[in-house]
Amino acid sequence: MGGRTVAVFTGDLDVTADAVIMELHRRDVPVVRCDPATFPAEIMLGARFCSGWTGHLRTGSRTLNLSDVACAWWRRPTPITIPGDVPEATWVRREAVAGLRGVLSALPWLNHPDDIRAADHKPLQLAVAAAAGLRVPATLVTNVPAEARAFAEDCGPVVYKPFTAGILDSGHVIYASAVDPRTLDDSISVTAHLFQQQIPKAYELRVTAVDGHLFTARIDATTDKGRTDWRSDYHNLRYSTYDLPVDVAAKLRTVLRRLRLRFGAFDLIATPGGEYVFLEVNPNGQWAWIEDETGLPIASALADALEKEK
Amino acid sequence: MTLAFGVRQAVPAQPMPVDMAAIRFDPDRQINMISAKGVPVPALRHSTGRTSTSTVTQDNKGGADADQDQTED
């Protein structure tokens, strides 16, 4: 493969993708935006392998020539859905996913979807970050109440945070939150839980990495709620650009390399003692609001990365 | 059934600052547009860029397996 077109796989309402697509349009780079959710009902795939994959992916309004892709970007696609009245719908969906994803897998990617999947595991991230020389908080993953209580006693104070998006069907949200050890009861056994030693914070850093370029925003929370998890109190945050120490930047690049990521959004704590502590790296993290708040040119960097074939 | 410890930490989500229902995907521009006094403008810029770009736990949403299974959304 190899070409000039940028393929963006995401849902229609992903306005973060809009920022990069607008930048690519400004540069006259051809873009095909596609939500795989509509495959196979509204997307036509025809791919043939000879010496390489050729063919097309046709959406309602665009055709992606598979041999003309400079880079593909797996942003926030929505799941493929097969109507329930289709015979053997589960198998049909499995085949649709395997066929489409299989062909797309051979494209050049800004974060290959399989690498995103592998890097999503928080326990893996902590191990990779520690191996890269970053300080990481003491962490417990358990569904055993006694383990949780012992961890709180050994490492307290501790926080709880979910492994995945904390959005519940009820519309409620789970943020990182301080744990009262007295509440560590049998409810721990219902599922896997992640507890971490609470690290004293001077401020937090959001480091958005694109092809080795690090865009660092300092986040100062002005409320206790925001200091525990800045996501819980967006209205009371202050942002500024920040110069990351060279050695810390080098360690973050090592993490990205080991996780095979070209893009990543790191969350770090800067302690009152001047240490930097790794919390997590999100291989598909949000960044547009950081650009709005700080002027850091992340959309432009992403457009740069997508324009050139890797 | 016992409520998971993690679920007990949940709080009500803060409402989005932008009415997503007012946003329309423009297949020609391949971006989202919103009407400002009758004139369609890019939704991202019109809304100070905050629409859903910073939304709470969006970080861990979507990603690799969004079209493979929903459990890791």
Omega into A157 within 30° of 0, i.e. cis?
A: yes
Put simply, whether B4 touches A (Cβ < 8 Å) is yes
Q: How confident is the model at residue B14 (pLDDT cuts 50, 70, 90)?
A: confident
- Alpha-carbon span A89 to A92, nearest angstrom: 5
Helix (H) or strand (E) holding A63, with range, is strand A63-65
pTM of the model: 0.89
Q: Which of A8, A18, A24 to mutate to test the interface with B (most CBs of B within 10 A)?
A: A18
Contact residues, chain A, for B21 at CB < 8 Å:
none
d(CA A83, CA A271): 51
Q: Are strands B39-42 and B31-36 parallel, antiparallel or unpaired?
A: antiparallel
The residue-averaged pLDDT of B3-15 equals 89
pLDDT of residue B17: 59
Chain B residues within 8 A of A167 when measuring between CB atoms: 13, 56-57, 61
Secondary structure (DSSP) of A285-307: ---HHHHHHH---HHHHHHHHHH
Considering only CB atoms, A286 lies closest to which of B47, B53, B65, namely: B53
Q: B16-69 pLDDT, tens per residue?
A: 556 667 889 999 999 999 888 788 888 886 554 344 444 444 554 444 444 333
Residues on chain B touching A30 (C-beta within 8 angstroms): none
Tokens standing for residue B21: 């229902």
Closest C-alpha among A136, A132, A108 to residue A196? A136
Regions in chain A scoring below 50 on pLDDT: none
Q: Tokens 């070409």, residue?
A: A3
pLDDT in tens, A53-111: 999 999 988 999 999 999 999 999 999 999 989 999 999 999 999 999 999 999 999 99
How many angstroms away from the CA of B63 is the closest CA of chain A? 6
Would you state the structure tokens that stand for residue A228, as one six-digit string? Answer: 């525990």
Contact B67 A36 (CB under 8 A): yes
Name residue B36's beta-bridge partners. B39
